[in-house]
Amino acid sequence: MNKMFESYTNASSDQGGKVSDQEAARLITRAEQVNNSGASSFRNRKKTAGKQSLKALFDKDPAAFTPESKKAIENYLRYGQLPTASARPEANYGRTSFSRSNPNIRTGFAPNFPPSPSQPNGAVPPAPTTPPVTVPTAPSDTATGGRRRHRRHAGSNGSGAARPSDLLPSSVSVASTTVPTSGRTAPSPVAPASVAPAPTSPPAPARIPPAPTSPPAPARVPPVPTSPPAPARVPPAPTSPAAPAVRPSIASTVVTPANVRVGGGVGTEGPYGTMFIDWKSPKEAWECHWWPQQESVAGGDPNNNLYAVSGPLDKYDQLTGKKAREYEYKHNRLAKETGNAYRWWGHCNHATEVVSVLPEPKHPVTKKLPNGKTVTFSELDIQGLLVKVSPGLIARVDFKGNRFNDSRRDDPNDPAPDVFFDTLDQWTKEDLLITLDLDRTEQVWNFVYDKVKAWKSTKPPEGFNASGLPTDGSVTYYRAEMEGTGYPDKKRLYLGYVQRNDRNEVVAKSWIKTDKSHLNPDFMWRAHPVGDVMNKANWKQTKTPSNPEVDPQIVYDIYMESLA
């Protein structure tokens, strides 16, 4: 509980170092767990140990709690009142295991993870007929018969078609911005009662070359087998020696602050006003597959599901003798019959982490097996292995904006334009890649950007009716153009205005939607690497790995061979 409190009061949190109502709900949940614990350390104590620990934290630093969280804590300590269902305890920015491995991002957001008390993503989806398997945290796409990558997590209708937020209506509108005080959380799937053994041997489909820049149409998925039985806890896999890898001659792939804007256009005047950002990260964004958790064919497709026979983890097991595929099948698989509401669940936040700190795998890698045969890991297979170990390569995450989870309490216009443009101005002084969740609904679709240009002006943008706004220079109009090398079809144009008084205080603000601009993103984040990610010593397993059967050291050797 102390560690949770420390992570929530970290200065980099969404609440500026204060415990939010969502985080208070998690602390209360933890207190209840301690109260009901059967551990020997609590056997001789009354079932109030958790409440006493929480009271001690609260009494020690009441100023560390927001008014909403303070009220929730007081109601629990005085009357035993538990948080309501709307205060879901755990937020994430995807559908994998980011919050578990990175406590600094436990405020409310979620890339690629569904909503629930232990996962972030807004309104809880309707319970499927077949209970979904609990998925590890991470900001995904539907499958085609061929190779799919981290395009989008699948539209709300389960297709790869553009969602409403991606369309550009001809009408011009202004979205007023009201920043909600509460954080976000997302629901997570419930683990099934039992897990059926993975299918024995569906033939492996042919490996398909990298997908084209534009996302392919989703494949029609055949019916899937019955739901699996409850996952068994698999102990952490022992390390296993791997063949020595060739270290590539890469001068520097570590993302480090440069404090220099690239481009030289800052301060120049143009048709959009004064340019204040002209940035390109020296680390190029690329497209990593997001590996959906729902089956596209019975037992999984090796080009899309990590748990499929002949997929990345199956090949890894052949090489190491471990049971990574079996663990993934039991813990991170969703059957087709769970429905379209779950088709966007996947590993897009982990795929984003991989893109943020590592170069793209370059070549297939062939390994000799103990039985004398060989197995070849394609570039796509290597991406799948990297997705499983990426949390250990991330030191911390910066996060701005509140993840949208529930239309009854969340503002789709958050983050506000002043927060968004100020954050861009700060983050582009460094080299770290910037990720946006482009979906303003419960779903999360992360895309990585490596280029930003931004302008500010006292003149409104073309196509916007500014009548009613003052013309005394107190209103600043902002424009940002963002591109990601790995996602050429996801270029973004954002417009907004901010009015400030003579004390530079924001008195009005709003996003501007024209027939050429896009709706605001749901949230923005960036990942900091643990250090030199080309150093094998930094490839370590986290305390709560996404798949304990996958050894980061072995993955490192395979990955480095692919770069050589």
CA–CA separation, 399 and 525 (whole Å): 4
Question: Tell me, what's the pLDDT at 84?
Answer: 52
Predicted confidence (pLDDT) at residue 292 exceeds the cutoff of 90? yes
Residues 139, 439 contacting (CB under 8 angstroms): no
pLDDT higher at 158 or 280: 280
pLDDT band at 537 (very low <50, low <70, confident <90, very high): very high
Percent of the residues in the chain that have a pLDDT greater than 70, as a whole number: 63
Residue 272 half-sphere exposure, CB side, CA atoms within 13 Å?
Answer: 18
pLDDT of residue 125: 36
User: Greater confidence, 198 or 123?
Assistant: 198
d(CA 42, CA 60): 23
In the predicted structure, residue 257 carries a pLDDT above the cut 60: no
Q: What is the pLDDT of residue 79?
A: 64
pLDDT of residue 9: 73
Distance CA 53, CA 45 (A): 13
How far is residue 127 from each of residues 83, 115, 131, 339, 407, measured CA to CA in Å?
21, 12, 7, 9, 19
Question: Rounded to an integer, what distance in angstroms lies between the CA atom of residue 89 and that of residue 109?
Answer: 11
H-helix or E-strand spanning residue 421: helix 417-427
Report pLDDT digits (tens) over 75-122. Answer: 778 767 776 543 333 333 443 333 333 333 323 333 344 433 333 333
Tell me: the pLDDT tens digits for 359-380?
999 999 999 999 999 999 999 9
Domain boundaries, the chain: 2-87
pLDDT (average), residues 142-160: 35
Calculate the alpha carbon distances from 80 to 31, 73, 205, 213, 342 in Å: 11, 9, 56, 54, 35
pLDDT of residue 342: 86
Query: For residue 546, which of 418, 444, 394 has the smallest C-alpha distance?
Result: 394
Q: Does pLDDT of 397 surpass 50? A: yes
Neighbouring residues of 411: CB distance < 8 A, sequence distance ≥ 6: 177, 178, 179, 180, 402, 404
> Which pLDDT score is estimated for 154?
32
Chain segment 332-355, per-residue pLDDT in tens? 999 988 888 888 999 999 999 999
Kindly state the average pLDDT of the residues 498-522. 95
Q: Is the peptide bond before 228 cis (omega within 30 degrees of 0)?
A: no
Cβ(448)–Cβ(427) under 8 Å? Answer: no
Q: Is the pLDDT of residue 222 over 70?
A: no
Which of 152, 127, 131 has its CA nearest to residue 142?
152
The backbone torsions φ and ψ at residue 510, rounded to the nearest 5 degrees and listed phi first, read -170, 150
pLDDT at position 27 is 84
Tell me what pLDDT residue 181 has: 34
Cα 10 to Cα 537: distance, rounded to the nearest angstrom: 27
Question: Across-strand partners of 479?
Answer: 455, 495
Beta bridge partner(s), residue 525: 399, 435
| pLDDT of amino acid 541 | 92
Quickly list DSSP for 290-309. Answer: ---SB-SSTT--TTT-TTST
Q: What number is the average pLDDT over the span 419-430?
A: 97
Could you write out the DSSP letters of every residue in 9-36?
Answer: T-TTSTTSSSB-HHHHHHHHHHHHHHHT
